Amino acid sequence: EGLVHDPGARVHHCPDGTVPFAPGTEQFDLITAIGILEYITDRNAYVHKLTSILKPGGCLVLANTNGIRSLFVTMALCSRVLRFWLKDNAATMRNLATTGIWSGGHVDRARADWLYSADALDALATKLGLELVDYFDLYNLPGLDRDPRNRTPLGTALARRWGWNHVGVYRKVAGASHSRA
């Protein structure tokens, strides 16, 4: 479908992961990239480009699948092996084991720069002149996600480490110089 672009619009939709705005020419108060990082081969460059068109003080919301490190993926793989689905769904299981999502993200795994954890995404954001404003992590397991915004400190730490998906809200620090990752 491509870019839906109206220069006077308040919202721009870029469904294929492209960022069709030259750095410094468009300034946005809010940019979201939810469910997209898994499909971008050079995530560092992509997040850098998003940061370069974000206003100082503006917010960037990113979601990141934690991959094999998550409790959800570990349990899903064990369940499939126990059901003897390995033979029938070997490609799906390989995708799940290496990327944390069923489709594998459809990127070249040899060239991809995976951000497999909440810490990795936060570190990239910090390197690019962003500060963490808020976050939450989801297990994608109904019994563990009853009230994700009211976890104990231990529950929050465990979700950050073992959660399936990390959502971070980052603010561009005014006047911060950022290096390309």
Tell me what the mean pLDDT of segment 172-180 comes to.
Answer: 66
- The pTM of the full predicted model, rounded to 2 decimals, is 0.77
Question: What would the mean pLDDT of 49-59 be, rounded to a whole number?
Answer: 92
Decide: 12 and 29 in contact? Cβ < 8 Å.
no
User: 7-11, 105-109, 131-135, 138-142: which has the highest mean pLDDT?
Assistant: 131-135
Average pLDDT, the chain: 77
Mean pLDDT of 61-77: 81
Grouping H, G, I as helix, E, B as strand and the rest as coil, residue 38 is helix
Give CA angle at 172 (59, 181), nearest 5°: 110
Candidates 91, 135, 131; CA nearest to 117 is 135
- What is d(CA 61, CA 112) in angstroms, rounded to the nearest whole number? 21
* pLDDT: which is higher, 67 or 65: 65
Residue 26 has pLDDT above 50, yes or no: yes
Q: Which residue has the tokens 């231990």?
A: 154
How do residues 81-132 score in pLDDT, each as one tens digit? 776 655 556 777 777 777 777 666 666 666 556 666 788 889 999 999 999 9
CA distances from 43 to 4, 23, 57, 61 (A): 22, 17, 22, 14
| 18, 48 contact by CB (below 8 A) | no
Say how far apart CA 98 and CA 67 lie, in whole Å: 7
The SS3 of residue 113 is coil
CA distance 27 to 8: 13
A 10 A CB-CB count for 177 gives 6
The per-residue pLDDT for 59 is 96
**Cα distances (angstroms) measured from residue 134 to each of 60, 76, 169, 174:** 11, 28, 5, 18
